[in-house]
Amino acid sequence: MPPSTHLPPPIPLPLPLLFLDVDGPLIPFGGTGYRTAPGPEAPAGNPLLSRLDPAVGPRLLALRCELVWATTWAAEANEAVAPRIGLPELPVMDWPEPSEDEGRDGLHWKTRPLLARAAGRPFAWVDDEITPADRAWVEARQPTPVLLCRVDPRTGLTDEDFGALARWRAAVGG
């Protein structure tokens, strides 16, 4: 009997990560970026939730990434934000306690924990507070493709931002 030439199926690689901030990227603060989401009054009396664009969730899901909340909203993002924009419950970043040295090197306080959570996986980070120091620090330490997408907090995520995310995602492949 000849040897089998049947190979086992390839092991699927994990999806790239997409870390999402809420205030600024998903809830814009001004300019022409005000949005209104249909539905009931904002829960917990938070009028900013009416600025969520329900079209953003499906666009984020279409990127085929593992979405992770990277926001101080923490688990509340799953309760108040996700259902209003059509996202399922997402994993939430567990932020460490800030240290006295936090920010002295010009890095955002989220930068180190996000890189640690990525653990070498490709990732994109959508936030309105990303700085050149964050970019340089991550690029020097991240072995896989990364996109730090700084969003204008006045407008939130735009078509241009989604274009950059889609190009990055295509470059990552998988």
CATH code, domain with 117? 3.40.50
Residue identified by tokens 């509340």 is 76
Contact 151, 27 (CB under 8 A): no
Average pLDDT over residues 24-30: 93
What's the total number of domains in the chain?
Answer: 1
The reply to whether 110 falls in a domain is yes
Which residues span the domain enclosing 29?
17-96+105-172
Q: How confident is the model at residue 38 (pLDDT cuts 50, 70, 90)?
A: very low
The reply to whether 3 falls in a domain is no
What is the average pLDDT value for the chain, to the nearest integer? 88
Least confident span in 86-100, 101-115, 140-154: 101-115
The reply to whether 2 falls in a domain is no
The reply to whether 7 falls in a domain is no
Q: What is the dihedral of CA 119, 110, 68, 89, to 10 degrees?
A: 140
Cα–Cα distances in angstroms (integers) from residue 56 to residues 1, 42, 82, 126, in the given order: 57, 17, 10, 13
Q: 95-111 burial string, b = 16+ CB within 10 Å, else e?
A: eeeeeeeeeeeebbebb
Residue 128 tokens read as 């309105």
pLDDT at residue 32 is higher than 50? no
Tell me the percentage of the chain whose pLDDT exceeds 70.
82
The reply to whether 6 falls in a domain is no
The reply to whether 144 falls in a domain is yes
Residue 127 tokens read as 């936030």
The reply to whether 10 falls in a domain is no
Specify the higher pLDDT residue, 31 or 81: 81
The reply to whether 8 falls in a domain is no
Task: Kindly report the pTM of this predicted structure.
Answer: 0.85
- Distance in angstroms (rounded) separating the CA atoms of residues 17 and 23: 19
